[in-house]
Amino acid sequence: MSYFFALLILLTTNCFAETKHFLLREGNIAVLAPPVVNKDYYLLEFGFVIQKKIKAWDYNYNAYVNAALFEDWKDRSDNLHAGALGFKAGVLFPVPTIPLFMKVGGGYAKTVLHKNPIFGKSDQSVDKRDMLLLELGALYSFDHYFVSFTYQKSNVRYFTRNTFLAVGVNY
């Protein structure tokens, strides 16, 4: 209950107006989750970000749309990799007073289970699925750069990695 009142106090104060100082600037974003940091996983995202506002609360936030390519072979012993190509969209809600964002997003991708999901031949695919993706996470920005931690859940079982760390740039 105390959290609810704390949230209520936050909503009724004007500290939300400060959020505009921390927003990612409107333009492009590129995200990389390298396999060095994330074992048996990599991700590339490229897209654009815009600024939005909830006028009633004077609360500013970002929205983004990215094209995404990622590959996951965590805990696999059969030499197969899961690959996906698709789109992600979501919102970044800044926390007042610090450049930290809460990320909520979703996505759609075409996926394949294959020995070489990027450059392989389509008729050698072991499985193919359409993926619906839900993502929750946090993003911390330093000037034009940011790091993010993401938890993701999808309807495709051969993607086993649920969390990843990524770095990105806003330009």
Partner 1 sequence: MFWSFSSLAESTIIKEETTTKIASEWRLFNRNIDSFFTNQPYLVAENQSTLSAYSSFYLKEGQKLQTIYDLEARFDLPRTTKKLKLVIEKEKDEVIKATTDENVATKNVPTNYSAGVSYLLTQSKYFSSLLRFGLRLEMPLNPSIKVNVSKDIKTEHFDIGLFQKLILYRQEGFQEISQVSFYKKWNEIFQSDLLNSLVWTDQSDTFIFRNNLILYQHIGNEKALTYSVGANAKLSPNFYYDVYDASVSYRQLLYSKWLYGTFTLGADFPKASGFHEENFVQLRIEVFFQ
The contact set with partner 1 (CB under 8 A) reads 27-28, 47-48, 50, 65, 67, 83-86, 110-112, 114, 116-122, 125, 128
Dist CA 8 CA 43 (whole Å)? 38
Nearer CB in complex with partner 1: 16/84: 84
Nearer CB in complex with partner 1: 85/167: 85
Helices H / strands E in the chain, number of each: 1, 8
Nearer CB in complex with partner 1: 16/42: 42
Residue 134 Cβ, how far from partner 1 at the closest point, in Å? Answer: 19
Q: Find, among 24, 114, 7, the residue nearest to 64 by Cα.
A: 24
What distance lies between CA 118 and its chain's CA centroid?
21
Residue 119 Cβ, how far from partner 1 at the closest point, in Å? Answer: 6
Dist CA 145 CA 36 (whole Å)? 19
Residue 41 Cβ, how far from partner 1 at the closest point, in Å? Answer: 16
Residue 117 Cβ, how far from partner 1 at the closest point, in Å? Answer: 5
What sign has the CA pseudo-torsion 13, 57, 17, 59? positive
Nearer CB in complex with partner 1: 77/122: 122
Nearer CB in complex with partner 1: 114/161: 114
Structure tokens belonging to residue 74: 């965590």
Structure tokens belonging to residue 55: 């006028």
Residue 120 Cβ, how far from partner 1 at the closest point, in Å? Answer: 4
